[in-house]
Amino acid sequence: MHYLCEAHARWQDAHGSGIFRAMIRDAVSRLVRAWLVTAIVDAVSSSALAVFAYRSTLTRLWQGVASILLGPAAFEGGARTTLVGLLLQCAVALGWSAVFLALYLSWPRLRRALALPRGVLAVAAL
C-alpha cells in the first residue's frame, strides 16, 4: 500500500496535478462568470423588450419560455411555470456559455481575436 501512495505522489509531481487543478478551477470560474452575465443580460433585455415593446407581462414572457417544454398548459401554471421558464432560460445560458468556453479554450484564433477590442465587438455582433 505504501508503494502505491509513493507512486501516486511521484506521478502527481511529474504531471503537475496542481497546475491541472488550477486550470480546471480557472475554467470553472470563467464558465460561472460567463453564465451569470449571459443569464442576467438576457433576462433583463428580454424582460424589457416584452414589457415595453410588446406591452406584455413578465409572467407571460417566462411562461412562454416554459411552454417550450410544457406546451400550452404552461400559460395556466401561474408562478410555478414562470419559475420553470426562468430556470430554462438559465439552463440555456449555461449551455451556450459552456459551448463558447470550449471554443475559446480550444481555438487559439478566437482567443487572439478576443484580445483585440474590434475582435470583442465582432464576436459580440454574432
Question: Using one digit for the tens of pLDDT, what is the confidence trace for 68-91?
Answer: 999 999 999 999 999 999 999 999
Say if residues 12 and 4 touch (Cβ distance below 8 Å): no
Give the predicted TM-score (pTM) of the model: 0.77
The per-residue pLDDT for range 12-62, each reduced to its tens digit, is 665 556 777 788 889 999 999 999 999 999 999 999 999 999 999 999 999
* Contact present, 85 and 63 (Cβ < 8 Å): yes
Specify the long-range contacts of residues 20-27, CB closer than 8 Å, at least 24 apart: 27/101, 27/105
The residue-averaged pLDDT of 88-105 equals 95
Q: Fill in the DSSP letter of residue 116.
A: S
Dist. CA 116–CA 84, nearest whole Å = 38
Give residue 8's identity as a one-letter amino acid code: H
